[in-house]
Amino acid sequence: MSIDAKDINFEELGFGYMDLPYRWRAYWKDGQWYKEGLEESNMIPVSEASTAFHYGQNIFEGMKAYRGQDDQIRLFRPDENAKRLNASARRLIMPEYPEEKFIEAVKETVKANADFVPPYGSGATLYIRPFMIGTGDNIGVGPAPEYIFSVFVMPVGPYFKGGFGTSKFVTSEYDRAAPHGTGAAKVAGNYGASLKPGKDAKSEGYADVVYLDPATHTKIEEAGSANFFVIERDGHKFVTPASPSILPSITKKSILYLAENRLGLPVEEGDIFIDDLGRYEEAGAMGTAAVISPIGSITHQGEEHKFDYSDQPGPLTTALYKELTGIQYGDKEAPEGWVVMVD
């Protein structure tokens, strides 16, 4: 049963699911999408032989809608999410959902649930989850005969407890993705593999894990649920890992631009060696859910490395956070095409 917006305390939200009144669905069969529109049930009846259950044909995106001080609702770079979903679809031999239809589906779902977009200043946002699954009867290893594309939404608070404050991370002995595997696609299997290391880290008091490169285990690749960055002490260079198995984050792409063009920082996508963290004064995780989450320390093989700003967010991380969120909420001027209004 869906919830009533009047019953929600937006300022005390965690990051959890809610059954809102409307979601978008589209169905694919015989080479075309059909029956596209809003539905009310949060249940999807599908065949027990669907490839989403057996062979991992399951891709998704993460986005947010923001209510500005002017009470207008904004989307942040939805065209980039559409492109990434289709890149994931191509990797798993799934049909693409046209970019213009993707953006329209997101807008219609947000509009239909507009009462649940948190008010400006509450610290909460409307999280948007577009996804596609393989359905139909297919028990042989191969692509599905049918597919469902859907978009559902829910209001959420900060992904990491404590909001914009520093957190402790720990490296993992597990690999997030294999070289030449599906690390660059947003597929469900990548996240299923991350559940145990993430649970282990949290049980030891850490916010999340940091994954090293699977080939050598010497370089940082990603945080458990977000991309990773550091800021060099000398020259304040903004550095984020480069690897073909890293998910191409829209938040990372945006922050690289903002660091260089708004803050005047040198930027680099390159190697960050786990035994060379002393070069860096600030560190953080960045992604749609995490936004920018400062990392105060990383523990590797039992040794904790504290960054210069281990107890509070550093000045450059803070400036990037304010620049990014200012654009998302409409408080700062956005680069052309970054913000799409929900009419």
Active site residues: 186
Single-letter amino acid code for the residue at 311: D
Q: From CA 215, how far away is CA 194, in angstroms rounded?
A: 17
Relative to beta strand 226-232, strand 220-223 is: antiparallel
Burial of 140 (0-12, 13-18, 19+ CB in 10 A): exposed
| Cα–Cα distances in angstroms (integers) from residue 143 to residues 50, 106, 270, in the given order | 10, 26, 36
SS3 content of the chain, % helix, strand, coil (to 5): 25, 30, 45
Q: From CA 176, how far away is CA 223, in angstroms rounded?
A: 9
Q: From CA 328, how far away is CA 31, in angstroms rounded?
A: 37
Q: From CA 114, how far away is CA 163, in angstroms rounded?
A: 24
Q: From CA 85, how far away is CA 91, in angstroms rounded?
A: 10
The residues near 123 (Cβ < 8 Å, ≥ 6 apart) are 10, 11, 157, 158, 163
| Cα–Cα distances in angstroms (integers) from residue 48 to residues 26, 51, 136, 138, 171, in the given order | 20, 9, 8, 9, 37
Single-letter amino acid code for the residue at 163: G
Q: Is the dihedral of CA 160, 184, 317, 299 positive or negative?
A: positive
